[in-house]
Amino acid sequence: MERTVQLVQMAEMAVVENSHLLKTTLGSCVGIVLYDEMRRVTGLAHIMLPRTLERDTSVGKYADSALPALLRRILQRGGSRERITARIAGGANMFRAATDRGIATIGEQNIAAVKGLLAELKIPVVFEDVGGEHGRTVVFDNETGRMEVKTLRKVPTPEPSKEGRES
């Protein structure tokens, strides 16, 4: 059977059923997967920021608006509040300078916001791969409930060769 891959871009959300795969790529953003194993209904939100900014109506962009909206969509598709579990990934510190200055990075803020909201909603986190300094690609298999996280490594730029340069 052909598997359908639903790509979730930055500030987007998607809810799927059956044998779909959900996929996203994250840096400082956090990906939240909400999953009802019995019903096989899954939602993925690609969160950019912890809190909604004034006058921005982009629901999927912010943890405080995307998480409740994602939960509602799963429940509308027949998911059960009591069976939903969460998986989270991302929240990398993509820029070392912020950490060196002791400033909480946007990734750290996103992680804290997502974990806080999940705790308030009493949704258990059954898997997490968060923080660090590398981006991630996430694929969630709605059929099996398996989440695959691939860490993206930084590739250093080679130093320019001294040959051929004038002094």
Other C-beta atoms closer than 10 Å to the C-beta of 120 total 10
Closest by CA to 61, choosing from 116, 10, 130, is 10
Range 28-66 burial, b when 16+ CB lie within 10 A, else e = bbbbbbbbbbeebbbbbbbbbbbebeeeeeebbbbbbbb
Closest by CA to 135, choosing from 52, 36, 28, is 28
> Among this protein's residues, is 29 annotated catalytic?
yes
In angstroms, the CA 69 to CA 66 distance is: 5
In sequence order, what are the beta bridge partners of 24? Answer: 138
| Active-site position among 29, 66, 70, 111 | 29
Judge contact between 117 and 69, C-beta under 8 A: no
Catalytic residues, by residue number, are 29
